[in-house]
Structure 1
Amino acid sequence: MRKTVLIAIALSILILVSAYVSLVYGVINVNFTDVINTLFRIDPSDQLDLVIFDFRLPRIVIGALVGFGLGIAGTVIQGVTRNGLADSGILGINAGAGAAIVIFMLFFQGQLDLTGWLSIMIMPIFGLIGGLLAAVIIFFFSWQKGTFDTGRLILTGIAISSGFGALSMYISLKMNSSDYEMAAVWVSGSIYNANWIYIISMIPWLVILIPLIIRKSYLLDLFRLSDISSKGVGVPVEREKIKLIILSIGLISACVSVSGNISFIGLMAPHIARQLVGMKHQYILPISGLIGMFLVVIADFVAKNVFTPVELPVGIVISMIGVPYFLYLLVKQKR
């Protein structure tokens, strides 16, 4: 417990440092005094308010929330499936959300007369619907003879991901150049259009779902045993697996609906957390969330600053790390 607390404190410090660096460095550099004066309204200015409150701070906050949610959801998926290579991108949730967004851009963007809050939230709402639709299809094909087959879950997820990815590509080819560029950036995973309304829309999902997942963390420890052993200690395995998967899907859909297709966070964060705090999910879950938070915040800083004047989607930067890490885990499992 003490080790976990110390690691959590160290990760929190890393997150704060990376958030500060992301806040002060960019096309317009600001210093520590400017940040303090702006945040605490000591000597505010319109330019600094625009840079800090409208552009940078929402990106940092939403990146942190998305990373935290995806890290925890990835831990649940790996625990339920007993597969260390499982991830929300592999399950097809991200691809389902992406396909829904592309459909919205082609058929509805500019056609709906919306104003205010709904005009900003309509695209994330479509993403959420797409993610949930992909989840329903995966559930349908993974349910076999009254049981939830986690092996079929992974295979079905890969197939669904490929199908929705092909659908997204087909639809995007029918767009004009500007809409195609926007769709490509979103599907690649981007938080460049983050705003406070997106953040407010995410918080209820995190506040409700994450405590429910942590409350059931002991089940993930039991799922490391065989299903027969888990049933032997009185755990309704199939029902609890379905509950945990639904909770993680809700978390993934909420994250992907505002950030696009950010993969590999749910793959990397649980593995790093297990290396740091051991195999008890009561400790793995929060540490995995903090690791995911750090990865997305620092990756977003790299995406918007290292490759200037070009700004890469944060999902591409994370994939640069995630793909080699995935291959490393694949080779490690073969040994």
Structure 2
Amino acid sequence: MIQPALQKKQRIILFVLLLLILVTIVIGVGMGYSSLSFDRVILTLFGHGNFKEEFVLYSIRLPRMLITLLAGMALALSGAILQGITRNDLADPGIIGINSGAGVAITVFFLFFPIEPGSFVYLLPLIAFIGAFLTACLIYLFSYNKNDGLQPVKLILTGVGFSTALAGVMVVLISSADRAKVDFIAKWIAGNIWGSDWPFIWALLPWLAVLIPFTLYKANRLNLLGLSEPVAIGVGVSIEKERIVLLLTAVALAASAVSVTGGIAFIGLMAPHMAKALVGPRNQLFIPIAILIGGWLLLFADTIGRGLVDPDGIPAGIMVALIGAPYFMYLLLKK
């Protein structure tokens, strides 16, 4: 039974986060190489802007901000699931190699397969999922011991090793590619929000629409998996089955996000920790908050990065890393 006071606190925090996201979007759409004043943004939103203002808002700024928001939500939820099933607070799809697996798959697809413009956008999340899934399976196998089960510390170390190795594979793959394709992959590695058009939103949205409710449905299972294995088995949880299903969910979320945003780490690490600090470790309470925090963090990082350097800005992945790397070191020392 969740205490009414905690439920009330959760609702207040969710409202504040939604308001913060809305304020960031309003500020963000006015920033950039072609700036829009606040009053012009409001008028353009209500259909009273000129052609240039409508083009900047609806074709450039708004789709980019929405895709950034959705991707941050997906990465945060993926991190929350991974931390739950591994019982390791340092788990994150970027740190343990899942993002790198998706990146290698996208690189191979982009470099060596014929690409149909009409289907390219919608194929990317699927291609990324295949690469991330194969990587996750290998990491899981190397981290699993039939006597002790999944070993969380070994999983982190194995994931970091895979991430480094796959980064090397990507360098080898692009070493003989033509300049245009190398530029695209380099931007992907840096975490540049390249999928900034409406079709990318429609490609990502179905994954979130299905997997967020599914994860919330499985929240109680995540609570039980966070306990010791004998306790979870004692209350009737099929540990390996639940872990595999939830691992696939985490992989799908991370892969769908990085397929359009590039290699972004640390969102899945920071957002769940911040949410737990606010409302405690119960998944039903902190997961909705973590989702909104993750979306806002990536949105904020991309907005700041765009505002610092004209016209291309600093990639969101680099901005997030500047915040996330010290936070990761703090958690590492703390644990």
TM-score, normalising length: structure 1: 0.91
> Contact between 1:79 and 1:223, CA under 8 Å: does it hold in 2?
yes
How do 1:69-84 and structure 2 match up within 5 A?
69-84=74-89
Aligned length: 328
Hey, what does 2:280 align to over in structure 1?
A: 278
Deviates further, 260-269 or 216-225: 216-225
1:33-92 deviation digits (Å, cap 9, x = unpaired): 322333232x24321122011110011101110111111111111111111111001221
How do 1:102-121 and structure 2 match up within 5 A?
102-108=107-113, 111-112=114-115, 114-115=116-117, 117-121=118-122
> Contact between 1:80 and 1:150, CA under 8 Å: does it hold in 2?
no
**Cα distance in 2 for residues equivalent to 1:124 and 1:231:** 34
Q: 1:77 to 1:119 in 2, by over 3 A?
A: closer
Whether 2:295 is the aligned partner of 1:305: answer no
1:207-252 deviation digits (Å, cap 9, x = unpaired): 1111111111112222232100111112112211111111111111
**Cα distance in 2 for residues equivalent to 1:231 and 1:192:** 44
1:160-208 deviation digits (Å, cap 9, x = unpaired): 2222111001112222333222211111212144111110011111111
The 3-state SS of whatever aligns with 1:326 is helix
Structure 2 letter corresponding to 1:133: L
2:185 aligned to 174, 183, 186, which one? Answer: 183
The 3-state SS of whatever aligns with 1:311 is coil
Structure 1 letter corresponding to 2:277: Q
Whether 2:325 is the aligned partner of 1:323: answer yes
TM-score, normalising length: structure 2: 0.91
Unaligned stretches of 5+ in structure 1? Answer: none
> Contact between 2:188 and 2:194, CA under 8 Å: does it hold in 1?
no
Q: 1:232 to 1:153 in 2, by over 3 A?
A: same
Hey, what does 1:94 align to over in structure 2?
A: 99
Hey, what does 2:127 align to over in structure 1?
A: 126
Hey, what does 2:263 align to over in structure 1?
A: 261
> Contact between 2:26 and 2:41, CA under 8 Å: does it hold in 1?
no
After TM superposition, what 4+ stretches of structure 1 lie above 4 angstroms from structure 2?
122-125
> Contact between 1:8 and 1:287, CA under 8 Å: does it hold in 2?
yes
Paired-residue identity, %: 38
**Cα distance in 2 for residues equivalent to 1:194 and 1:231:** 45
The 3-state SS of whatever aligns with 2:62 is helix
Hey, what does 1:195 align to over in structure 2?
A: 197
Hey, what does 2:28 align to over in structure 1?
A: 22
Root-mean-square deviation (CA, aligned residues, Å) is 2.0
> Contact between 2:194 and 2:262, CA under 8 Å: does it hold in 1?
no
**Cα distance in 1 for residues equivalent to 2:257 and 2:217:** 21
Hey, what does 2:61 align to over in structure 1?
A: 56
**Cα distance in 1 for residues equivalent to 2:194 and 2:144:** 38
Q: 1:125 to 1:279 in 2, by over 3 A?
A: closer
Q: 1:146 to 1:251 in 2, by over 3 A?
A: farther
The 3-state SS of whatever aligns with 1:293 is helix
Structure 2 letter corresponding to 1:198: F
> Contact between 1:95 and 1:131, CA under 8 Å: does it hold in 2?
yes
Whether 2:36 is the aligned partner of 1:36: answer no
How do 1:111-190 and structure 2 match up within 5 A?
111-112=114-115, 114-115=116-117, 117-145=118-146, 149-151=150-152, 152-190=154-192
Hey, what does 2:9 align to over in structure 1?
A: 3
Unaligned stretches of 5+ in structure 2? Answer: 1-6
**Cα distance in 2 for residues equivalent to 1:36 and 1:145:** 60
**Cα distance in 2 for residues equivalent to 1:121 and 1:219:** 31
Q: 1:222 to 1:193 in 2, by over 3 A?
A: closer
Hey, what does 2:213 align to over in structure 1?
A: 211
